[in-house]
Amino acid sequence: GDSVTQMEGPVTLSEEAFLTINCTYTATGYPSLFWYVQYPGEGLQLLLKATKADDKGSNKGFEATYRKETTSFHLEKGSVQVSDSAVYFCALPPLDDYKLSFGAGTTVTVRA
Amino acid sequence: SQTIHQWPATLVQPVGSPLSLECTVEGTSNPNLYWYRQAAGRGLQLLFYSVGIGQISSEVPQNLSASRPQDRQFILSSKKLLLSDSGFYLCAWSGLAGPSYEQYFGPGTRLTVT
């Protein structure tokens, strides 16, 4: 079935460092791909999405490009801040189902 | 715009007591609704989803149940809580299922079973 595999971490960085979180997927067809972010004690928020191959989603300085040839959707940010400390989830909606497939989540801690 | 509410925000309950968590969505009609649980330091586990009033699909066998008495109301219940029911419970909604429709999450309920 459709699924995502995500780098699990935890990841600890210094402020202004470069962040990348790997996400690869297995899917029939070409679904949309999402990155969600969960700040401490909160629910998940949609961070960015891409709806077709070669699309780049971006938000809050984060970017991810939908790569069909490598079945990947890696999340990147060039200069992280302490406020980026959160858990990040990659997700994929199956074409014929109501459920999102989530990755295991990557905990990111940014130190000042 | 659409909003999703969950209550209570936090709950501490003894083992064996009943549970009722409520989720409501505003600003949309006939949403798909979902209950997830997130154990400490773990990922998301889908518990139930509903595509309409009275229609509930269960993903994992357990002592929890869900109901959808109204279009935009989703309730998670238990008759007798277990210690293993502790966790962060998240409700979510989506428009149409398929390749482009993302889910939107509520603020969550932190449940501690003592």
Which pLDDT band holds residue A73 (cuts at 50, 70, 90)?
Answer: very high
pLDDT at B34: 94
Cα distance between residue B62 and residue B112, in whole Å: 17
A82 contact partners, CB below 8 Å, separation of at least 6:
A15, A110, A111, A112
A96 contact partners, CB below 8 Å, separation of at least 6:
none
Nearest chain A Cα distance for residue B91, angstroms: 9
User: For all residues of chain A together, what is the average pLDDT?
Assistant: 92
pLDDT at A37: 97
Per-residue pLDDT at A47 exceeds 80? yes
Nearest chain B Cα distance for residue A18, angstroms: 24
Interface test with A, best of B1, B5, B35, B105 (most A CBs within 10 A): B105
Which pLDDT band holds residue A40 (cuts at 50, 70, 90)?
Answer: very high
What is the tens place of the pLDDT at every residue in B11-64?
999 999 999 999 999 998 899 999 999 987 778 999 999 989 999 998 886 789
B 3-62 → A contacts, CB under 8 A: 6, 32, 34, 43-44, 46, 49, 51, 59
Which pLDDT band holds residue B7 (cuts at 50, 70, 90)?
Answer: very high
pLDDT at B22: 98
User: Long-range contact list for B55-60, CB < 8 A, 24+ apart?
Assistant: B59/A99
Q: Give the type of residue at B68.
A: R
